[in-house]
Amino acid sequence: MPLFLLPLLPLVGFALLILFPRLFPGKSGGWLASGTVLASFVIAVTRFLGQGDEPAREILWTWLPGMALNANLSVGFWYDQLSALMALIITGVGFLIHLYSVSYMGHDRQFTRFFAFLNFFVAMMLVLVLADSYPLMFVGWEGVGVASYLLIGFWFSGRNSEASDRDIREASDREGVANSNAARKAFIMNRIGDLGFMLGMFLLYRLYGTLVIPELAERVDGAQVAAAGVELACLFLLVGAVGKSGQLPLTTWLPDAMAGPTPVSALIHAATMVTAGVYLIARSHFLYDLAPGASTWVAWVGALTALYGALSALNQHDIKKILAYSTVSQLGYMFLAVGVGAYSAGVFHLLTHAFFKALLFLSAGAVIHALHEEQDVRRMGGLRRFMPFTHLTALMGVLAIAGIPVWSGFFSKDAILAAAFAASPLLYVVGLGVAFLTAYYMGRWYFLVWRGEYRGSVAHPHEADGLMKVPLGILAALATLAGFLNVPTFLGGGHAFDDYLGRAIPVHGHEIPISTEWLLTLLAVAAGVGGLLWAAAEHRRRALATGPLGAASANALYLDRVYDGLVAAPSRALAAGLDVVDRGLDGALSGVARNSAAPGGLFSRWQSGFVRTYAVSMLLGTALLLGYWALRTIGGGA
Amino acid sequence: MLTPPDVALAPLLPILLVLAGAVSSTVLGFHLPRRTLTAINLVLLLLSAAAMALLWSGPGELPATAFGGSLRADNAAVLLGLTIVAGSMMALLVSLDTAYRARLSFPEFDAMLMYAVTGTLLIAFSGDLIVMLIGLEVMSLASYVLATLQDSRRAEESGLKYFLLGSVGSAVLIYGLALVYGATGSLSYGGIAAATAGLTPGNLGLLVGGALLLLAGFGFKVALAPFHQWTPDVYSGAPTTVSLFLSTVVKVAAFAGMLRVFGGALQNAPFWASALQLLIAATLIVGNAASLFQTNFKRMLAYSAVAHTGFLAMALLGTPGLGGAALGYYLLVYTLMTGAALAIVAALQRTEAGMNISDLRGLYHRHPGYAVALAACLASLAGLPPFAGFFGKYLAFQAAFQNGYVWLSILAVLASVAALVYYLRPAMLLFMPDRTPAREYPHGQRPATNLTVALGVAAITVLGLLPNLWYGWLADPAIWELLAGR
């Protein structure tokens, strides 16, 4: 089946839902949206099963003049192992989250619109990962940015804007303003990243004369290009990736993005969109292989972000914020992996993270639902009694993210840590520390929400309904078992995932003695178990509500405030100054405008309606033309 | 010794088909209802378009000619002819729904319209000044009648104005034609182009004088300032269907004539280009400034047609290869977007005076389809991507800019910024909430108008996203460098 169907089906769903919302009463819009994504998933599976070793390229139509090698750039899709995998993740996890949303968003007034946006997002994300050229990838890149903006600000007027009670309405208004600001923040910070992406594209085109990815991959080897140029292009692309993936320094939008509905956080801000930066770097591996300097930057950006996210997650109180900072931190892991050249490890972590983080978010959503929009973990606790199924699935997620053996996170994190060890001991130490912190804050999340006694105000929290349980169950199974796709050699595994992806992206094997690998694995397991035990001990002392680092962590290391001081305050001052100038200019300009509007009135008066005046102006015009020429000729000829 | 006239049927066929439509409407009008006649005419127009498409000459082929080169069915003629047919079909389709209300529903309307189309095609296919003039007069006389046809004082006033001023314009044009003949001794475009090379100073004076008078005459037909003043009065006074026809087809034909005369015959003649740029500058200023102050939507569209004349004419200043292609692209886009916008006016107006801009408030809540389509047309007219109007403007500006008309291009860009204001203000009003009673004509099934609008909006969207669908046919510079023939 042709590749264009993959993004086309959700796009058709989007068009139907946004243009004819009235055709879809009740929940039928949600079912339609889920159906299109399911159809895309089926196509992705059939394509995956029929996939050969050779990548496929399917060209649709000619698009931009000149931007390919001696040809016009065409809109085309590129299907290799990497894009196959991404398409499977996007449609598979996407479908589960659509399904979950049918129940989760069931009472929302804008139910159909929500699914229209979700479908739009899936379509754009598929364009992003299937694109055969950077410009087309940029189309998807911008598209998911728009979808993200729309969905973060989905409750732009608050959830109770039409409530009869005045206090509720005012609170809802405040919430609406906060949501809108979060959406704008995400959009604007992404713009900075997009600028980097664009500059990277310009530079690549300047260096190689093409923006088609397979053509570039062939050309970079033989081309005589200044190394500094490639380094710079890779750094520009890194800026783009950093913006989209919420890495340092453009990270602060991602925690705020939790203002969107929880399925959005699960799909866009955990499983798929934010991993686009990792995908971009893995896709551009042939460039980064030539740019060791830029790769080191990638690795360090990732390591520092992982640390930053973990430290910020330690003392959060919002059930989703903890997960959000954890996402920031896990994305840092992926950047670390692709930065040290372990593309396969990075993408594998992307896969497992998509499962367990989506699972955790959806579990959090079920909790929020059960507690009537309560999000503060200090007012939860003991929910394991009320929601046994969700508790079980959430536990699977926690074990996976903490890196406990046989759960998927163990295998993927271990691969990254081994690669980091082979590259630089310092990176490894940071990575190991983050693993320890991760286990702790996820343990804290688990104990605060599920264990201990119930501290909430809702009398009888209810278990998620059947429709929400299905995705939870499937994701829990995947989060538990996906690790066996890539069991490393020293554990007697077949590392099937590395082999598969290796056909598209080179796997740089690292030379570590088996004994060392065992040691590294034991250390990683010790970090995970240790972190969980620490959390359990604190839980026993009932001291979990306040995490370590106190206010510094709760305020996300004050990064927002730093940006406010460094960027926002000066630009506000600048804006105030410009405002004064503007008002002055405005007065002057409106004076000018009043005077220049006069000709418009004059022209209308000239339009008297009398034929004779019209004829006179025609003849006068002719005479003027001839007179002008006569003057020019006399002047020039004399 | 007498030579038999060089008659070839193939290049004549598109024109004859249209003429057959005109004659059959005249003759059969006594026996058949008007809708049948219109259907016949639509079919004939389609056949004519097909005949034109068959005349397309591939690379290396010589274009078909007749009457010793007086009629040239070259690729430029085919492309412009297809644009004309597109506009005419839009006008006919819209008239199916609105002619009855406008008290225009008699066979003469169809006959006159088809006569006018015959004239416009003659202009596009012309190979010498006489054929061009015949076509121009056939077109003009028929359109004077069209403008007057409705039995109302407004229409009579508008038609009479059009006729009187048109006579002045024609007189100037014919005088210029005579001077050009006097200077070069030839009426065929090729002969004039060949003769312009080695002229004595005295004859050169005659040539330039003639060219300027031709410019003034054509300036009237396409509505360049200061020859534009009839435009707002006639367009807003005539029934909307007629305004649609006048502002699209007739203007395309006049531009086709300008392209033939100035881009072909007089392409080496001095001075007309620098005079034209003054006229364009004046048109841009007057058209855009006056549009800002209109309260009636139909009249605003009339002024916007004047402003667009300025943008379109910029393509004439480019080198023939680039400018011709730009003009060809822009003319089709202009026809589609203006046609669709006026079709919506025709469908929704209560009287033939059109509607006020303020009446458009909240249209989205009453007629969502029309409102979205109108917004798309306005955005395209304003030159916003992704609609085709953007590409049209871009190509025209580029043509003028690359040929050295820098300050004019800057003025045009500034003018299109001003144009944003008057196009987007109604577009914005469309989507405003509104609680006043609707002011549209409430009744009626309008399938033909809906089809026209849908096709027009779809076309400007598709041509904006994939401009090469049309531009790919136009892009060959050889088409436009040989307008006068070899």
Domain membership of residue B4 (yes or no) is no
Residue B297 lies in a domain: yes
Residue A197 has which token pair?
């992406």
Cβ of B216 within 8 Å of Cβ of A622? The answer is yes
For residue range B398-442, list pLDDT tens digits in order: 999 989 899 999 899 888 888 888 898 899 889 988 777 777 887
Query: Quick one: pLDDT at residue B442?
Result: 78
In a domain, B89, yes or no: yes
Residue of A nearest to B288 (CA): A600
Average pLDDT over residues B71-76: 91
Model confidence band, residue A638 (pLDDT cutoffs 50, 70, 90): very low
pLDDT in tens, A218-250: 888 777 777 888 889 999 999 999 989 888 888
Option in B271, B279, B293 nearest A600 (CB): B293
Backbone dihedral angles phi then psi of residue A494, each to the nearest 5 degrees: -100, 5
Burial level of A400, CB count in 10 A (0-12/13-18/19+)?
A: buried
3-state class (DSSP) for residue A506: coil
Nearest by CB to B468, which of A62, A601, A613?
Answer: A62
Query: What's the burial of B473, exposed, middle or buried (CB within 10 Å: 0-12/13-18/19+)?
Result: middle
Q: Is A171 exposed, middle or buried (0-12, 13-18, 19+ CB in 10 A)?
A: middle
Question: pLDDT tens for residues A496-537?
Answer: 888 888 888 887 766 778 888 888 889 999 999 999 998 888
Given an 8 Å threshold on Cβ–Cβ distance, is B292 in contact with A600? yes
Question: How much is the ipTM here?
Answer: 0.80
Residue A635 exposed, middle or buried by CB count within 10 Å (0-12, 13-18, 19+) = exposed
Mean pLDDT, residues A64-85 = 82
Among A62, A604, A629, whose Cβ lies nearest the Cβ of B290? A604
pLDDT in tens, B120-156: 999 999 999 999 999 999 999 999 999 998 888 888 8
Question: Which one-letter amino acid corresponds to residue A186?
Answer: A
Contacts with A618 from chain B: Cβ below 8 Å: 165, 168-169, 172, 216, 220, 226-227, 229
Highest mean pLDDT among A121-125, A200-204, B201-205: A121-125
Option in A597, A603, A611 nearest B286 (CB): A603
Helix/strand/coil for A325: helix
User: Which of B230, B271, B289 comes nearest A614 by C-beta?
Assistant: B230
What does each C-alpha distance from B235 to B206, B312, B354 come to in angstroms? 35, 18, 11
Select the residue of A617, A622, A625 nearest B229 (Cβ to Cβ). A617
The pLDDT value given to residue A191: 87
Q: How far is Cα A129 from Cα A136, in angstroms, rounded to an integer? A: 10
- Shortest Cα–Cα distance, A620 to chain B (Å): 9
Point out the residue among B216, B232, B289 whose CB comes nearest to the CB of A600: B289
How far does the CA of residue B11 sit from the closest CA of chain A (Å)?
34
More confident: B40 or A510: B40
Contact B226 A618 (CB under 8 A): yes
* HEC assignment per residue over A32-59: HHHHHHHHHHHHHHHHHHCCCCCCEEEE
Q: Answer whether residue B7 is part of any domain.
A: no
CB B65, CB B73: distance < 8 Å: yes
What is the predicted pLDDT for the residue at A604? 67
The average pLDDT across A43-60 equals 87
Tokens of B36: 């049948």
In whole numbers, what is the pLDDT of chain B averaged over residues? Answer: 90
Phi-psi region at A75: left, alpha or beta (left = phi > 0; alpha = psi -120 to 50): beta
B233: chain A residues, CB-CB within 8 Å: 607, 609
Query: pLDDT for A400-409, tens place per residue?
Result: 999 888 899 8
Q: How far apart are CA A93 and CA A89, in angstroms?
A: 6
Residues 35-94 of A with CB under 8 A from B: 61-62
Q: Which residue has the higher pLDDT, A450 or A163?
A: A450
Over 70: is that where the pLDDT of A471 sits?
Answer: yes
Quick one: pLDDT band at residue A600, thresholds 50, 70, 90?
A: low
∠ at Cα A26 (A22, A27), nearest 5°? 110
**Residue B467 main-chain phi, psi, to 5 deg:** -60, -25
Are B229 and B168 a contacting pair, CB within 8 Å? no
State which residue of chain B sits closest to A633, comparing Cα positions: B205
Domain that holds residue B74: 13-55+63-481
Q: Poorest-confidence range of A100-109, B235-244, B372-381? A: A100-109
**Cβ separation of B289 and A62 shorter than 8 Å?**
no
Mean pLDDT, chain A, rounded, equals 86
pLDDT at A163 > cutoff 50: yes
pLDDT above 90 for B114: yes
Work out the number of other CB atoms within 10 angstroms of the CB of residue A299. Answer: 24
Q: Is residue B121 part of a domain?
A: yes
Inform me whether the C-beta atom of residue A628 falls under 8 Å from chain B C-beta atoms. Answer: yes
Q: Per the CB < 8 Å rule, is B168 touching A600?
A: no
Residue whose C-alpha is closest to residue A538's, from A434, A455, A449, A440:
A440
Percent of chain A with pLDDT strictly greater than 90 = 31
* pLDDT for position B327: 94
pLDDT class of A554 with cuts at 50, 70, 90 = confident
Which among B229, B272, B304, B466 is the top mutation candidate for probing chain A, defined by the most A β-carbons within 10 Å of its own β-carbon? Answer: B229
- Residue B466 with chain A: CB contacts under 8 Å: 61
Overall domain count for chain B: 1
Query: Is residue B299 within 8 Å of residue B354, measured between CB atoms?
Result: yes
Q: Using DSSP, how many helices (H) and how many strands (E) does chain B show?
A: 21, 2
Interface of B with A in 136-165 (CB under 8 A): 160-161, 164-165
- Contact, A446 vs A398, CB < 8 A? yes
Q: Which amino acid is at A578?
A: L
Tell me, what's the pLDDT at B249?
96
Q: Which of residues 170-199 of B touch A (CB under 8 A)?
A: 172
- Residues 390 to 409 of B: which have CB under 8 A from any A CB? none
Q: Which residue, A292, A419, A402, is CA-closest to A348?
A: A419
CB spacing of A621 vs B219 below 8 angstroms: yes
Q: Mean pLDDT over residues B358-376, rounded?
A: 90
| Ranges A377-386, A575-584, B219-228: which has the least confidence | A575-584
What is the pLDDT at residue B313?
Answer: 95
Q: Is residue B486 part of a domain?
A: no
Short-list B227, B284, B308, B255, CA closest to B409: B284
Measured between CB atoms, does A636 come within 8 Å of chain B? no
Residue B288, CB-side half-sphere exposure with 13 Å CA sphere: 23
- Would you state the pLDDT for residue B261? 93
Let me know: does B446 contact B362? Beta carbons within 8 Å.
no
Q: What residues in A contact B165, CB-CB < 8 Å?
A: 611, 614-615, 618
pLDDT, position B24 = 93
> How close B289 comes to chain A (CA, Å)?
5
A620 touches chain B (CB under 8 A): yes
- A67-81, B61-75, B448-462: which has the highest mean pLDDT? B448-462
Q: Inform me whether the C-beta atom of residue A627 falls under 8 Å from chain B C-beta atoms.
A: no
Percent of chain B topping pLDDT 90? 59
Contacts of B290 in chain A (CB under 8 A): 600, 603-604, 607
Quote the pLDDT of residue A597.
60
B99 in any annotated domain: yes
Question: Which two structure tokens, joined as six digits, stand for A609?
Answer: 């309606």
**Are the beta carbons of B290 and A600 separated by less than 8 Å?**
yes
Tell me the mean pLDDT in the region A7-19. Answer: 91
Tens-digit pLDDT profile for residues B306-363: 999 999 999 999 988 889 999 999 999 999 999 999 999 999 988 888 888 888 888 8
CA distance B472 to B469: 6
Q: Is B177 inside any structural domain?
A: yes
**What pTM was computed for the model?**
0.63
Looking at residue A636, its pLDDT comes to: 62
User: A625, B215: Cβ pair inside 8 Å?
Assistant: yes
Yes or no, beta carbons of A599 and B292 under 8 Å apart: no
Chain B residue numbers touching A61 (CB-CB < 8 A): 466
Q: Kindly state whether A228 is in contact with chain B, defined as any CB-CB distance less than 8 angstroms.
A: no
Q: Pick from B165, B286, B292: which is nearest to A618 by CB? A: B165
The answer to whether the Cβ–Cβ distance between B227 and A621 falls below 8 Å is yes
Angstroms from A418 CA to nearest CA on chain B: 49
Percent of chain A residues past pLDDT 70, beyond the cut: 96
